[in-house]
């Protein structure tokens, strides 16, 4: 690999521009995606920029279980993103259609329609999980553009909230909630 290709690969990894698309989502994952750009998580440190136009984007972030109405829109927008590109499916819905499974209004999951590179599980996933998924997608995109490797979907690990001792997983002598039922 010569110098120019190495610089290009490095730049692609460092500058993922996102286009966010809702495929019939309940808006939970959409809120978390926006939260990953807020001061608390600050995805711009990785060069992430949320773009208004799919023409500018490198990574297509899709939420929702893919309703019949959304299928054509998703295919059109996937075609409008210029290569090299990657797709991140945010949340459990695009991966499995989640609690809406077998609904007659759905045409999911997402990888029946377009190739997906990274699945970020969670309902909704935490913003740090989304940032991790986007970083992974940028890496995959840079590698694939350089070496022409086939698409192989990656499922990111589940990132949960820190345990506060109130859940079932906590130790038996952890303090229980003091609130009484009225």
Partner 1 sequence: MNLTTALARFLIFPGLLFAVPAAWFFLWVERKAVALMQGRIGPPFMQPFYDFIKLLGKDTPPRSGVGGLLMKLWPLIAVSAAAGAVGLLPVLPSSGGFEGDLILLLALLELPSMCIIAAGFSSGSIFGEIGSAREAALSVSYNVVFLLAIVSIAASQHTFRLEALAKLPASPMLWLGVVAILVCLPAKLHINPFSLPNAEQEIYSGPMTEYAGPELAMWELSHGLEWVAATGLVATLAAPHLTLWWLAALVFVALSFAVVLLLSVIAAATARLAIDTTVRFYWQCTLIFAVLAISSALFMRFRS
Q: Give the residue carrying structure tokens 């840079």.
A: 142
| Alpha helix ranges (H) inside the chain | 3-14, 28-35, 68-80, 92-96, 127-147
Task: Say whether residue 35 binds partner 1 (CB under 8 A).
Answer: no
Strand partners, 106: 67
Binding residues for partner 1 restricted to 9-28, rule: CB under 8 A: 10-12, 14-15, 17
Binding to partner 1 (CB under 8 A): which residues in 106-135? none
Q: Is 164 exposed, middle or buried (0-12, 13-18, 19+ CB in 10 A)?
A: exposed
Instruction: Give least dist CB 76 to partner 1, A.
Output: 13
Total residues in contact with partner 1, by rule CB under 8 A: 24
Q: Are 96 and 122 in contact (CB under 8 A)?
A: no
Which region, judged by CB under 8 A, interacts with partner 1, from 21-29, 47-55, 110-118, 123-131?
47-55
Which residue ranges make up the site for partner 1 (CB under 8 A)? 7-8, 10-12, 14-15, 17, 39, 42, 44-45, 47, 51-53, 55-56, 58, 80, 82-84, 145
């Amino acid at each position: 690999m010569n110098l120019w290709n190495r610089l290009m690969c490095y730049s692609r990894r460092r500058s993922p521009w996102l286009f966010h698309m809702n495929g019939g989502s309940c808006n939970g994952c959409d809120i978390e995606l926006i939260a990953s750009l807020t001061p608390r998580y600050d995805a711009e440190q990785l060069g992430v920029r949320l773009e208004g136009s799919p023409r500018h984007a490198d990574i297509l972030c899709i939420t929702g279980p893919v309703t019949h109405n959304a299928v054509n829109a998703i295919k059109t927008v996937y075609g409008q993103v210029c290569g090299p590109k990657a797709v991140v499916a945010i949340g459990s819905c695009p991966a499995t259609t989640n609690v809406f499974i077998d609904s007659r209004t759905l045409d999911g999951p997402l990888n029946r329609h377009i190739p997906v590179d990274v699945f970020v599980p969670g309902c909704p996933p935490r913003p740090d999980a989304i940032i991790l998924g986007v970083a992974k997608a940028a890496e995959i995109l840079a590698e694939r553009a350089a070496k022409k490797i086939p698409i192989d979907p990656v499922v990111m690990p589940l990132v949960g909230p820190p345990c506060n001792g109130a859940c079932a997983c906590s130790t038996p002598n952890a303090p229980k909630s003091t609130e009484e039922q009225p």
